[in-house]
Chain A
Amino acid sequence: MKARVADQHDTAASWLTAEKLEELRPIIEANAQAIVDKEVAAWTPEFRAALRKLREGGIENRS
């Protein structure tokens, strides 16, 4: 079992390099932004108002 996990670890690590991540970074960020934009589009006016109030310091959790 240990050897199997080690092999799988190697498989994942084989593409996870700093260079590969830098190469992929614009694609990853664009993909993430597309997901975020879609989810944010669904935010309600009430939730946006709560965010605005939080930015203005109107909501603070003092716990």
Chain B
Amino acid sequence: MNEAFYESILSGKHMMFWFESIGRESIIKAILFRPTSEPDTYKMLLGDLDPDGSINVESRSNNGDTEKVLSIAARSIVFFLSDHPEAKVVIEASTESRARLYQIAIGREMEDLGNYLNILGFHGEKPEAFQSGKNYKKIIVSLKTDQLNF
């Protein structure tokens, strides 16, 4: 895995991760989990990190390593939830193409972690159990409460 990502795993309370997207060019990516006005509810942001600290969440870098980036993003959710077991993580896709990418990445992680994660997809305002192959505008990921007692 990306060396910078390893460093970020070891840093802090898993509220921020960073790594290098190495494809056609080298881009620093950041993943942040930020609190919202709703209790125990966090939003995940994924974007390009600039040297001045700004984050571009709208960028479409087409760097040729989308699968790796999404895999790291999915893993960061698991690391975050391990430190914040009560948290609900909201992922919002800004575009249809991003919704499709998130669907693919989360669907893949479900194969390994589906027993531990509660994943809901939203079509409009109605939640449903996440289904691979369906695009959702919003996704909420949390730990299944019955998996918290080991």
- Across the A-B interface, give the 10 residue pairs with the lowest CB-CB distance, nearest first: A27-B53, A46-B125, A12-B26, A61-B129, A24-B53, A32-B32, A36-B34, A8-B26, A36-B43, A40-B36
For residue B145, CB closer than 8 A to chain A, the reply is yes
Binding site for B on A (CB under 8 A): 5, 8-9, 11-13, 15-16, 18, 20-21, 24-25, 27-29, 31-33, 35-37, 39-40, 43-44, 46-48, 50-52, 54-55, 57, 59-63
Q: How many residues of B contact A (CB 8 A)?
A: 48
Contact A51 B140 (CB under 8 A): yes
Within 8 Å by CB of A29, from B16, B52, B145, lies B16
Contact B125 A54 (CB under 8 A): no
Give the total number of A-B pairs whose CB atoms are below 8 A apart.
110
What are 17 sample pairs from A and B whose C-beta atoms fall under 8 A apart?
Answer: A9-B20, A12-B20, A15-B28, A16-B4, A16-B28, A20-B51, A25-B16, A27-B52, A29-B16, A33-B34, A35-B45, A35-B57, A40-B38, A54-B140, A54-B142, A55-B40, A55-B41
